[in-house]
Amino acid sequence: MNEKQSSQSTLTILMILSMITWGVSWPANKVLTSFGTPVVLGFFRYGFVVISLLILLVLIRTKLLVSKKGIPFILISGALMATYNYTFLAGLQNGSPGAGGILVTTLNPVMAYGLGMLIDWKRPTKNESIGLLIGVIAGLTLLKIWGNEAVFAKPGNLYFLLSAFIWSVMSKFTSKSAKYGSPFAFTWWMYLVTLICIIPFCNVTAIGKLIQSTDIHFWGNILFSSIIAVTLATTTYFFATSKIGAEKASSFIFIVPFSAAIFSFAILGENLEIHTIIGGLLGIAAVYMINKK
């Protein structure tokens, strides 16, 4: 195995671990929605992310300098991330959390490829087309669409549809990060912009109450969802977009629903049904097909 193949294999393993981490964070995010609004939770999440990622960058001796040409991409990506934080958590509060997770994770790769075709005039390969089709079937199976036809019509679930679109657009911007410096430095500045966008809309009183809280459920879940799920897993995802493109990186998201279902079963005691297992395995098959040489 040459150096390039070894690097690709390492990135693939890291992406799979990151998607599993996103799955674990799903029940954590469900718990967090009972503690505050999407804006307040976003303040804590990205506050911890900015601090923890900065410490990580110092440890690995990565400079924070980025090209001036990359500033517009950072500003747009940060604003999109702030918007995504709101729509995603609002969906958890107002929509169907289980269905929402499947909607977002199924539509993300499909929308990313659609945007890629429109922006780059790049058609999916045969394997990518087959993988996307399998991924859509996986999502419909996970939703158990044959008995849940009205899932797309529920008002709260519109937040999830919007979240999927925002994420796919943001992925296209982060895929350009390597042109302007270190992808990790680009991501740190993006998270900082996200935090700055959130701060003006925060309820100071609500933030003060949570800071004084001793509830382990809040602190445990917010630290996990920020430091582990965002600083490590999401940053790995954005790094991957700069290396393999937004389309292929987004395909790994098909793994998340199955991972989320497994950990929701283990942590929250939710039922793990046969259609969930079948849909999850189809999602994994979709990732394999899309990334197959």
Q: Specify the pLDDT at position 151.
A: 59
Domain for residue 3, yes or no? no
Q: Specify the pLDDT at position 24.
A: 81
Q: Specify the pLDDT at position 110.
A: 78
Residues 264/270, Cβ–Cβ less than 8 Å: yes
Q: Specify the pLDDT at position 154.
A: 66
Domain for residue 71, yes or no? yes
Domain for residue 6, yes or no? no
Question: Looking at the 3D structure of the chain, how many domains does it have?
Answer: 1
Domain for residue 23, yes or no? yes
Question: For the chain, which residues score pLDDT lower than 50?
Answer: none
Measured between alpha carbons, how far is 145 from 278 in angstroms, rounded to an integer? 13
Query: What is the SS3 assignment for 181?
Result: strand
Q: Specify the pLDDT at position 228.
A: 93
Tokens of 128: 């990518």
Q: Specify the pLDDT at position 153.
A: 61
Domain for residue 159, yes or no? yes
Q: Specify the pLDDT at position 267.
A: 67
Nearest to 71 by CA among 164, 226, 189: 189
Domain for residue 272, yes or no? yes
* DSSP string over 197-224: HHGGG--HHHHHHHHH---HHHHHHHHI
Q: Specify the pLDDT at position 275.
A: 77
CB atoms within 10 A of CB 292: 11
CB atoms within 10 A of CB 181: 18
Q: Which domain holds residue 248?
A: 12-291
